[in-house]
Amino acid sequence: MIAAIPTTQTPQLIPGTYIFDGRMAMKGYNLNRMCYSFNSADNRKKFKNFPEAYCHSYNLAPEQIHAVTDLDVLRLLQLGGNIYYLAKLTGIYGMTVQDLGAQQTGLSLDEFRAMLVAQA
């Protein structure tokens, strides 16, 4: 069964930070379960060949499937994805955590790296 995705968000107590609590865990269970399957090289290959079909086999909701195929990390977080599991999805496309950081902050990769160094 495809889980209905609640439209409410857990309020952000810390700006720009998604706390993966029970509410998010309920929302993202199937999404995270799919990402957990990417610990297997066979499953990564199956996903890469037919991403949408693979998402359907884990009963992802339509908006989750869109976010997966767009590799839209913020959207995936809002839809219940946990970053440790999402990293296994983005890793399939060779994205590093710095690529993820750049995408989420709207910076270029060089700008994101410079921002990290500037905090030294």
Partner 1 sequence: MARIIGALTSSHIPSIGNAISNGKQEDAYWKPFFDGYQPVLRWLEREKPDVAIVLYNDHGLNFFLNNLPTFAVGAASEYTTKDEGWGLPVFPPYKGYPEMSWHVIESLIAQDFDIAMCQEMAMDHAFINPMRLFWPTENPPAIKTIPVAINTVQFPLPRPARCYALGKAIGNAVASWPTEEKVVVIGTGGMSHQLDGERAGFINKKFDEMCMEALLNNPEKLAGFSSLELVREAGAQGAEIIMWLAARGALHGKVSRIHSSYHIPISNTAAGVLALANN
- List of residues contacting partner 1 (CB under 8 A): 13-22, 25, 29, 32-33, 35-36, 38-41, 44, 73-74, 77, 82-88, 91-92, 96-98, 100-101, 104-105, 112, 115-117, 119-120
Q: In the bound complex, what is the minimum distance in angstroms from residue 69's beta carbon to partner 1?
A: 18
Q: For partner 1, which is the closer residue by CB, 69 or 98?
A: 98
First-to-last CA distance in the chain? Answer: 48
* Integer Cα distance of 34 and 60 in angstroms: 9
Smallest distance, Å, CB 2 to partner 1?
18
Instruction: Give 33's DSSP letter.
Output: H
Nearer to partner 1, 4 or 118 (CB): 118
* Residue closest to 28 by CA, chosen among 86, 80, 64, 63: 80
Give least dist CB 4 to partner 1, A: 19
Minimum separation from the CB atom of position 38 to partner 1 (A): 5
Phi-psi region at 80: left, alpha or beta (left = phi > 0; alpha = psi -120 to 50): left
Smaller CB separation from partner 1, 66 or 103: 103
State the CB neighbour count (10 A cutoff) for residue 30: 18
